[in-house]
Structure 1
């Protein structure tokens, strides 16, 4: 009896120690986000990557999401300061720090977000990484949203009609487009656009088609001009704290990297492409007027004339970064346009 009880107690202690060790061995990777849980980035991209990470680390690293952490431009600092372990943001929100990333945003790319995202990752590593614009962070992925389009409360018949209109611009290449169109630029993070449109603070916004659904713009921006290939792409990064990575074993660090990089960039771009399709469908179903401008349409030509020389201006703008920006842009476009062919 005494021996049997001793063995039961010993077994319970051993099991408890085993469970305790298992719990202790699990590391929680906290991801901060500024978009709503329903957005493709939070509903598809992060959960897919989380599954990849947990599988690659054999359950030793578990990803948890945290929402509503403030303005997207602060995400870089939150990760650097250790408030969260990883996040993502739009480079255009921090214009003084990120200049090279505008290469992928240049007009007339003529590629999907998935294709542009793969090109973005490859060209960054070959040309841009040495400029250390992401210093203090480890970049997990680089991707773009789909083509930025014109979403208005009231219809326009030409790009000239945008003159003096109050347009929310998100930074990056959008700023230069706004200047050339002579709009009244209004800055605000994307989640604020619905409220601003509803209250009449702005007349419109330059943003991808997916936000007709994810940000409910179909309720307040009932007129969309969809230029062929869009006006621009938007550059994003997904990043993680180097300190967090240093706290992991080498095996788990490499496991996380193995499911990031180009693989994650492509998946993120594809998810935003899919969101654009869903956004268009939702907009049309809700009675939004979508002007699908033809390649030979008047507004398409108007736009091509409007953006002449922008890529050369960008090359000059990033001269202080000491990289071959012209060659990088040419290669970026070649990769994106030939992707999947």
Structure 2
């Protein structure tokens, strides 16, 4: 009899425990999120921007919230900024290798990879601003999204590169013999065509180089240059859209393919494009603010050129565009077809070719 009572007691306790576990499970998952047993998928997002950059809060932060909202809490973005998981020039390999799941890739840093087709956006005087650039490249990506290394979700453009200088640059003649910082092949060729000498200097050393006179100027972003306070040492900004770089929100292929189909569709059709649009809007807004702030500099200001004065800066553009086509063909692409499509899209968006 005692044995039966003991067995009955153990059975009651066991059933009560099972009931408690089921209740707890229905209220919260293993991460403590109240979600009726929904599994929360964490995706690591990597960027090279410092945490105090407005882009981190106003673009990446808003997008993190948007992902959580649109997925009903099923996806959580865990961000790592300031090169915590790798630098800009290793981001493609790191993303493809699964160091993190999401990043914004800059194609011009990887022109020897499958990202080459998207370097077309960086051609000399191709895209006038971030808003137009984002529209143009979205159409181009729709036709030429052939990446095998990563899953490209969308494309967005930053602000144009302009000329920062220690003395006024109002004509090509003002650049003759000057030492100008240039990094990409397009910028190097342009600087040479202006009769200046291109110099490759890391952005971290740029302020001091301008301050000491090692450089006379730099081809650099308007918004980025203001953030680095280049106006203190190179107060003259010639506001010509030398090139407008593209950044592509992308995901690790394995991570993307492991998502449920509805989330895959959401990232491709809604969340990826949303990040690109937030990016574009941010740079459009901050370009206007940067121009206004820099133009108030008593030591210099923003120089706007007439169409007649702009043409000599653009004179070598066609050669640079033609070289891109040759490079595309050499890499196995149909360079002529890509270029024709790109030009057609530019015309659709009301962009005038520089030649």
TM-score, structure 1 normalization: 0.83
Structure 2 CA distance for aligned equivalents of residues 319 and 312 of structure 1: 11
Q: 1:15 to 1:234 in 2, by over 3 A?
A: same
**What does 1:67-86 align with in structure 2 at a 5 Å threshold?**
67-69=81-83, 70-86=86-102
Q: 1:17 to 1:146 in 2, by over 3 A?
A: same
Q: 1:247 to 1:165 in 2, by over 3 A?
A: same
- 1:164 to partner: Cα distance: 4.2
Structure 1 contact 162–182 (Cα < 8 Å) conserved: yes
Structure 2 contact 235–299 (Cα < 8 Å) conserved: yes
CA shift digits 1:241-279 (9 cap, x unpaired): 011123322222222223245444333222211121122
Question: Aligned match of 2:134 in 114, 117, 121?
Answer: 117
Q: Which residue of 2 aligns with 1:242?
A: 253
Q: Which residue of 1 aligns with 2:29?
A: 20
CA shift digits 1:65-121 (9 cap, x unpaired): 212224311111111121111112322222322432232223343643122212102
- 1:211 to partner: Cα distance: 1.8
Q: 1:6 to 1:71 in 2, by over 3 A?
A: closer
Residues 1:218 and 2:243 aligned together: no
- 1:191 to partner: Cα distance: 5.4
Q: Unaligned stretches of 5+ in structure 2?
A: 1-8, 33-37
Structure 1 CA distance for aligned equivalents of residues 99 and 258 of structure 2: 15
Structure 2 CA distance for aligned equivalents of residues 280 and 295 of structure 1: 17
Question: Aligned match of 2:313 in 296, 299, 303?
Answer: 303
**What does 1:191-210 align with in structure 2 at a 5 Å threshold?**
193-194=206-207, 196-198=209-211, 200-210=213-223
Structure 2 CA distance for aligned equivalents of residues 44 and 288 of structure 1: 31
Q: Which residue of 1 aligns with 2:163?
A: 150
Q: Which residue of 1 aligns with 2:72?
A: 58
- 1:6 to partner: Cα distance: 9.7
**What does 1:312-327 align with in structure 2 at a 5 Å threshold?**
312-320=322-330, 321-323=332-334, 324-327=337-340
Root-mean-square deviation (CA, aligned residues, Å) is 3.0
Q: Unaligned stretches of 5+ in structure 1?
A: none
Structure 1 contact 122–262 (Cα < 8 Å) conserved: no
Q: 1:28 to 1:189 in 2, by over 3 A?
A: farther
Count of aligned positions = 329
CA shift digits 1:167-208 (9 cap, x unpaired): 322315323212322433333554554454455553322122
Q: 1:186 to 1:26 in 2, by over 3 A?
A: farther
CA shift digits 1:31-53 (9 cap, x unpaired): 11112234354233322322222
Structure 2 CA distance for aligned equivalents of residues 39 and 191 of structure 1: 15
**What does 1:157-168 align with in structure 2 at a 5 Å threshold?**
157-168=170-181
Structure 2 CA distance for aligned equivalents of residues 75 and 273 of structure 1: 25
Residues 1:34 and 2:48 aligned together: yes
Structure 1 contact 38–214 (Cα < 8 Å) conserved: no
Q: Which residue of 2 aligns with 1:49?
A: 63
SS of aligned partner of 1:141? coil
Structure 2 CA distance for aligned equivalents of residues 95 and 108 of structure 1: 19
Structure 1 contact 85–240 (Cα < 8 Å) conserved: yes
